[in-house]
Amino acid sequence: MKYPILKGTFDILPDQPKKEDQWKETARWQYVESVMRQLAEDYGYREVRTPVFEKTELFVRGVGETSDIVTKEMYTFQDKGERSITLRPEGTASVMRAFAQGQLQQLGSHHKFFYIGPFFRHDRPQAGRFRQFHQFGIEAIGNKEPEQDLETIDLLYQLYQRLGLTDLQVMVNTLGEPSCRETYKKELLAYLKPHFDSLSEESKARFTKNPLRILDSKDPKEKELLQSAPSILDFLSSESEKHFEKLCSLLKDQGIPFTIAPQLVRGLDYYNHTVFEVTSGVLGAQNTIGAGGRYDGLLPAIGGPDLPCIGFSTGIERILQTMEGQNAPFPEKKGPFVTFIPLGEEAKKVALKHLYGLRHQGVSSALIFAKKIQKALQQAEQSHTTFAIIIGEEELAKNKAQVKAMNLRTSQDIPLDTLVEFLTKERKKDGL
């Protein structure tokens, strides 16, 4: 291969010859994305599309200069205008920038958006983690009530249910208000200080920059140490505690199974109040398939209005790999509704006339040129076509076409003059 694909990326193709790569098939991506779009519409969210690159400062300010994304993972470069540009590593900062720049607050007090697209992080590729990856996310702006938190978590959980995922763990926590976190940070640092020398190099770096991120450590020894660490739930203000208690009550009423996880902090600096994750064991260490939380101070931090916000993002690669690992159902592959098999030059002319007649009426149609009819029928079957239309010298002499229903294994002759009408009616019967 002269130009192999870059590490951490992959192609999405109509067919994948290897069974383990079937999650990369185009039809599966289209199916999952269609469920996402329908779900977003059901909940009243509208699509927003932002550029795949932005000024680097947006992500440094929005995501947080101490986050792993900013310090280790961003694709950043100088453009020809000597500006620092970054390929977007996540979606929220860009959506908030678009909201602020478009002054959408003038159009109402509540706004709900969704996005689907590629994102980029220079990370070590592994199961469920790529350097170009794709996410579905939502952002709700203007509603500070716990009922909005419920809607956000319910939408994410409902997505996985619609896609047939099982064995899901929903974890929720609260980070409280900034004043709560400052008090908690002091207590956490006091607890960790005697153990500083035994911490990993990563946690030592976080100790002064962002100690809450130590709670997210995957190191087994540190996880054991953190079991006895102070809990942020003991440092909440009355308002923060009331908000979190109401959310938990709403989740119970909605029948969403969840676990309170006091050490859940998420990896981005902009979170406050509610944070949550949904995990599945299929992907091993990278078992989080969706997560989010509140970021009420993010909009004003990037020059927008001071409005409460909450959202989530979920990795499409991780969803597809989890579906495959759990044998979740995918729709059957669909090919062209009609495939013409003309035998001879005159038959080709007739087939082309009907082919485009059907296409112009919105009926998906294909054409196979082959000298041997059995080989052509085999090719038509492999393409998952519904009807194969054979037109040869014998059919032309009768002014008819041989119509084969591939799934039923039946055949009938239809006059060429009424062929388009017949196939259009058959398509309606199938609800297509």
Residue 224, pLDDT above cutoff 80: yes
Both tokens of residue 294? 């509140």
Q: What share of the chain is helix, strand, coil (3-state, %, to 5)?
A: 45, 20, 35
Lowest pLDDT segment from 69-73, 276-280, 348-352, 380-384 = 69-73
In this predicted model, what pLDDT tens digit does every residue of 86-107 receive, in sequence order? 999 999 999 999 999 999 999 9
| Beta strands 169-174 and 272-279, pairing class | antiparallel
- How many CA atoms, within 13 angstroms, populate the side-chain half-sphere of residue 410? 4
pLDDT attached to residue 51? 98
DSSP letter string, 67-118? SHIIIII--EEE-TTS-EEEE-S-SHHHHHHHHHHTTGGGG-S-EEEEEEEE
Residue with tokens 């994305």: 33
pLDDT at 363: 92
Indicate if 349 and 312 belong to the same structural domain.
no
Q: Which of 130-139, 145-154, 177-186 has the lowest mean pLDDT?
A: 177-186
Answer yes or no: is 355 within a domain. Answer: yes
pLDDT bin (cut points 50, 70, 90) of residue 64 is confident
Query: Can you give the length of the chain in residues?
Result: 432
Which pLDDT belongs to residue 58? 94
Domain boundary among 292, 325, 358: 325
Q: Is residue 332 part of a domain?
A: no
Q: Tell me the per-residue pLDDT of 190-202, one tens digit each, with 9 for 90 and over.
A: 998 988 888 888 8
Among 291, 254, 236, smallest CA distance to 150 is for 254
> Residue 330 domain-assigned?
no
Residue 428: CB atoms within 10 A of its CB come to 10
The single-letter DSSP state of residue 19 is: G
> Residue written as tokens 């409280």?
176
Question: From the CA atom positions of the chain, what is the Rg in Å?
Answer: 28
pLDDT averaged over the chain? Answer: 91
Same domain? For 343 and 304 the reply is no
* Residue 178, pLDDT score: 83
CATH code at position 141: 3.30.930.10
Q: For position 399, which CATH number holds? A: 3.40.50.800
**Average pLDDT of 42-58?**
97
Contact 355, 348 (CB under 8 A): no
Residue 370 shares a structural domain with residue 409? yes
Question: What residues does 134 pair with on adjacent strands?
Answer: 118
Domain that holds residue 247: 19-176+236-325
Domain identity same for 378 and 412? yes
Residue 26 lies inside a defined structural domain of this protein: yes
Both 48 and 127 in a single domain?
yes
DSSP assignment string, 329-350: --PPP---SEEEEE-SHHHHHH
CB atoms within 10 A of CB 213: 22
Residues 291 and 362 in one domain: no
- List all residues 6 or more positions away from 265 whose beta carbon is below 8 Å from its beta carbon: 173, 175, 212, 213, 215, 216, 271, 275
Percent of the chain with pLDDT over 70: 97
Model confidence band, residue 61 (pLDDT cutoffs 50, 70, 90): confident
Specify whether 356 is located in the same domain as 383. yes
Question: Which of 278, 294, 325 represents a domain boundary (last residue)?
Answer: 325
Q: Are residues 55 and 149 in the same domain?
A: yes
Query: What pLDDT is recorded for position 432?
Result: 53
Asked if 302 and 349 sit in the same domain, the reply is no
Q: Based on the structure, what is the number of domains in the chain?
A: 2
Beta carbons of 192 and 199 less than 8 angstroms apart: yes
In a domain, 211, yes or no: no
Exposed / middle / buried, residue 172 (Cβ in 10 Å: 0-12, 13-18, 19+): buried
Task: Give pLDDT, residue 280.
Answer: 85
Q: Residue 308 CB: number of other CB atoms within 10 A?
A: 19
Where does a domain end: 325, 358, 382? 325
Domain for residue 38, yes or no? yes
Residue 308 and residue 162 share a domain: yes
Residue 378 lies in a domain: yes
Q: Same domain for 311 and 366?
A: no
Residue matched to tokens 């909005």: 148
Place of tokens 């478009």: 102
Q: What is the pLDDT of residue 267?
A: 59
Quote the distance between the C-alpha of residue 398 and its chain's center.
Answer: 53
Order of strands, edge to edge, in the sheet holding 76-78?
A: 53-55, 84-87, 76-78
Q: Is the dihedral of CA 98, 103, 104, 105 positive or negative?
A: positive
Say if residue 44 is in the same domain as residue 122. yes
Distance CA 250, CA 276 (A): 15
Decide if 229 is inside a domain. Answer: no
Whole-model pTM?
Answer: 0.90
